[in-house]
Chain A
Amino acid sequence: MSDPMVRLEGVCKGYGEGERRVEVLRDLDMEIGRGEMVAVVGPSGVGKSTLLHLIGLLDRPDAGSIELDGVPVASLGPAERAALRNRLIGFVFQFHYLLDELDARDNVALPLRIGGRSRREARERAGALLERVGLSGRAHHYPDELSGGEQQRVAVARALAMGPGILLADEPTGNLDRESAEKVFSLIRELHLKEGLTSVIVTHNEGLASRCDRVVRLDPASTVTHV
């Protein structure tokens, strides 16, 4: 791949110390092209979420290098990493992870406010995004007043608030019923195409994974199989 959006080379990551240490990712190489939608599948504990956290700059690898949009991220300080996350990456987690104290619109506006936009501008953009995910009528509802599917759609709108280049979704449908899961995945797929995103989706759902451009299967030895 000549100019990948995401490049990992020799990435290692483990947790714990001494005898309790568990190596989760070992010498992992991976490239994800621009505009590609990749599903990451594999058994529990194999390091799928860890991989997503490393790509999303939420964690640092023990060894190896990561490049996002051509930027080697190893040398970046905490503030620069945060700024890059805000500008380049959108996250959707398995559980919606919306802030309970904010209504749907303010939750979507949050990345924009963190990115320095004014409150008014952020709310306007958040309102437009909620409309795109079909929740304009729920803008003033708090997370506990929304259904699971609606919460996840708000989370998708929040992930897209800054117009990111990369969308990272960690089992975005894992906590939803079949119908809601289908709706959320279709929404992600639609926005991926319309926004020209590079998407990495961790999922246990083989059916949804097969609808992605490529499936990357992780096994406990961190061997990557491209399907």
Chain B
Amino acid sequence: MPVEFALAARYLLGLGRRTHVATVTAISLVGLTLGVLALVVTLALLEGFQSTIRGELVRLSAHARVSAASGRLLGDPDGLARRLQESLGDATVEEVVTGSCLVAGPGGTVPARLVGRSDVEGVAADRVLAARLAVGPGDTVRVLSPRTRLTPLGPVPVRAGLEIGEVIPREPGAGEGGVLVAPLAVVQRILWGRPAVEALELRDPADPWHLAARVREALGDRRGSLRVEGIGDLHRPLFLALALERAMLFLAVGLMLVVAALNLLCNVAMVAAGKRRDLAVLSGLGMAPARVRRLFLGLGVMIGAAATALGAGLGAGLAMVLDRTGALPLPRGVFAVTAVPFRVQPVTVAVVMVFSLILATLAAWLPARTVARREPAEGLRYE
């Protein structure tokens, strides 16, 4: 080990003999440790909630969607579905058609999104729509299509009566309006009057996040005329909001680390002032200014590294214990989980540690640079 780092370690270990410096160093250490701990726990909490949301998305939403690049109906949807089913093996491929409609029930008439799916047998209303219409399983609603048919009285909207089979949870990111899901043939008749298919929706619970890439590969030469969206594309606003939330929280809690780093700066400056004579002697013995700078930089980085390791270890441990014990319960029926979820991601912890170390290095750099610029005789004159 270079002598300047060995000396920095000795200074750190020998601080216990000097009460005031030891106290300030302990405060710096505790401050940085708490900052790292808070950041690790906060990000684990956020990741816990966000992974729950992602899990719900995977459970309820399509993992990939194939539609016509022109925005029109799909040509030869059955052929395309067969081709994808053969190529993708375990993935399920469903034909889908969607459109806007008015739905009337005992609670009134509300606009809704009508979804027809080939894998659905009964009619289902999501919770929002069921609540607005004041309907439940067994009730009948009337659907008014934007499509008209010609009658002796002139064009009138196509209407259909549908019996609600079940009320389903809302898909995350579904927007404000209600959703009515019905068998594909029923919706095709209401919206188009013919077997039109707007898109194919695919699901592969084993690998939902890469399904779109596999679909693109499977489409081969037909790729140009089709639009393939993955689960990330289908819920882009939601994912952007989650990413923004993550970044803002990192910045906000990261400010704690900045404050702790400023405290470290004061600590290193204080040690430098206390060691003024030693530094003059070290210079007198031939230690070059760059090495003097490294000595104090090493001192700050050692404090920073110790605090970072301690904070990261304690933070990750605390988050894991809280997650496994379910120590922070949530009201049943309100959230998808029964306790506050924590999820420690090694990459996130590594980012926090690097951030903390960079701040500690910057905090130590300023006093270290100032010390190294002094003429050695200055330190001796003050004695």
Measuring CB to CB, which residues of chain A are less than 8 angstroms from any residue of chain B?
Answer: 49-50, 53, 56, 58-60, 78-79, 82-87, 91, 93, 95, 97, 99-102, 110-111, 113-115, 158, 162
Name the residue on A nearest B287 (C-beta).
A114
> Are B289 and A79 neighbours in the complex by a CB distance under 8 Å?
yes
Separation of A97 and B383 alpha carbons in the complex (Å): 10
Minimum C-beta distance from B276 to chain A (A): 11
> Which residues from chain B contact A111 at a C-beta distance below 8 Å?
285-286
Other than A84-B286, A86-B287, A101-B10, give 8 A-B pairs with Cβ distance below 8 A: A56-B284, A58-B375, A59-B376, A59-B377, A100-B14, A110-B282, A111-B286, A115-B286
Does chain A have a CB within 8 A of B288?
yes
B280 on the A face (CB < 8 A): yes
Please, how many angstroms separate the alpha-carbon atoms of A115 and B282 in the complex?
11
Q: Lowest 8 CB-CB distances: which A-B pairs, in order?
A: A86-B286, A59-B377, A113-B3, A82-B288, A101-B14, A58-B377, A53-B377, A101-B10
User: Measured between C-beta atoms, what is the minimum distance from A176 to chain B in Å?
Assistant: 17
Instruction: Knowing A53-B380, A58-B375, A58-B377 are in contact, say whether A114-B286 is a contact too (CB < 8 A).
Output: yes
Beyond A91-B284, A101-B11, is A78–B289 a contact (Cβ under 8 Å)? yes
Is the Cβ of A93 less than 8 Å from the Cβ of B380? yes
Of A79, A86, A95, the contact of B290 (CB 8 Å cutoff): A79
Q: Which residues of B contact A85 (CB under 8 A)?
A: 283-286
The listed residue (B281, B380, B381, B383) touching A99 by CB distance below 8 A is B281
Q: How far is the CB of A208 from chain B (nearest CB, A)?
A: 21
The residue of chain B having its C-beta at the shortest distance from the C-beta of A91 within the complex is B284
Chain B residues with Cβ below 8 Å from A100 are: 14, 17
A59-B375, A97-B277, A113-B3 are known contacts. Are A86 and B285 too (CB-CB below 8 A)? yes
The answer to whether A97 touches B281, judged by C-beta atoms less than 8 angstroms apart, is: yes
Q: Which residues of B contact A (CB under 8 A)?
A: 3, 6-7, 10-11, 13-14, 17, 277-278, 280-291, 375-377, 380-381, 383
Residue of B nearest to A59 (CB): B377
B380 CB contacts on chain A under 8 angstroms? 49, 53, 58, 93
Residue in A82, A87, A113, A158 whose CB lies within 8 Å of B283: A82
A58 adjacent to B10 (CB under 8 Å) = no
Which residues does chain A contribute within 8 Å of B277, judged by CB atoms? 97
Residues of A within 8 A of B10 (CB): 99, 101-102
Cβ-closest chain B residue relative to A161: B285
- Residues of A with C-beta under 8 A to B284: 56, 58, 85, 91
Query: Is B285 a contact partner of A114 (Cβ separation < 8 A)?
Result: yes
A221 to chain B, nearest CB (A): 22
How far, in whole Å, are A132 and B267 apart by their CA atoms in the complex?
Answer: 40
Contacts of A82 in B (CB 8 A): 283, 286-289
Given A58-B280, A60-B375; A79-B14 close (CB under 8 Å): no
B376 surroundings in chain A (CB, below 8 A):
53, 58-59
- The answer on a CB contact under 8 Å between B288 and A83 is yes
Which residues of chain B come closer than 8 Å to A79, judged between CB atoms? 288-290
Complex alpha-carbon distance, A92 and B61, angstroms: 80
CA–CA, A101 and B290, complex, Å? 22
| Assembled-state Cα–Cα distance A82/B291 (Å) | 10
SS class, residues of chain B in contact with chain A: helix
Q: Collect the chain A residues with CB atoms within 8 Å of residue B285's CB.
A: 85-86, 91, 110-111, 114, 158
In the complex, what residue of chain B is closest to A164 when comparing beta carbons? B286
Give, as a whole number of angstroms, the nearest-CB distance from B375 to chain A.
6
Shortest CB-to-CB span from A85 to chain B, Å, is: 5
Say how far A89's CB is from chain B's closest CB, in angstroms.
Answer: 8
**Nearest CB of chain B from residue A142's CB, rounded to whole Å:** 10
Contact A83–B290 (Cβ < 8 Å): no
Contacts of A110 in B (CB 8 A): 3, 282, 285
Q: How far is the CB of B9 from chain A (nearest CB, A)?
A: 9
Are B3 and A78 in contact, CB atoms less than 8 angstroms apart?
A: no
Nearest residue (CB) in A for B372 is A78
Complex CA–CA separation, A215 to B360 (angstroms): 52
A41 to B105, CA, bound (A): 111
Q: In the complex, which residue of chain A has the Cβ closest to the Cβ of B18? A: A100
**In the complex where A58-B280, A59-B377, A101-B14 touch, is A95 in contact with B286 (Cβ < 8 A)?**
no
Nearest-neighbour CB distance to chain A for B77, whole angstroms, equals: 76
Residue among B6, B290, B377 with max Cβ neighbours from chain A (10 Å):
B377
Distance from B287 Cβ to chain A, minimum over Cβ atoms (Å): 5
- The reply to whether A114 and B375 contact each other, CB–CB distance below 8 Å, is no
Please give me the residue from chain B that is nearest to A54 by CB atom: B377
A64–B380 Cα distance when bound, in Å, is 23
Q: Which residues of A contact B287 (CB under 8 A)?
A: 82, 86, 114
Cβ distance A95 to chain B, nearest Cβ, rounded Å: 7
Please indicate the chain A residues that have their CB under 8 angstroms from the CB of B290 in the complex. Answer: 79
Q: For residue B289, which residues in chain A have a CB less than 8 angstroms away from its CB?
A: 78-79, 82
Once bound together, how far apart are the Cα atoms of A8 and B17, in whole Å?
A: 44
> In the bound complex, what is the Cα–Cα distance between A196 and B13 (angstroms)?
40
* Chain A residues positioned under 8 Å from B278 (CB to CB): 97, 99
Q: Which residues of A contact B280 (CB under 8 A)?
A: 58
Minimum Cβ distance to chain A for residue B382 (Å): 12
**Is B286 touching A83 in the complex (CB atoms < 8 A)?**
yes
Residues of B within 8 A of A58 (CB): 280, 283-284, 375-377, 380
Q: How far is the CA of A56 from the CA of B289 in the complex (A)?
A: 16
In the bound complex, what is the Cα–Cα distance between A101 and B277 (angstroms)? Answer: 13
Cβ contacts under 8 Å, B286 to chain A: 82-87, 111, 114-115, 162
* Alpha-carbon gap, A56 to B280, bound state (A): 12
A50 to B377, CA, bound (A): 8
Query: For A60, what are the chain B residues with a Cβ–Cβ distance below 8 Å?
Result: 375
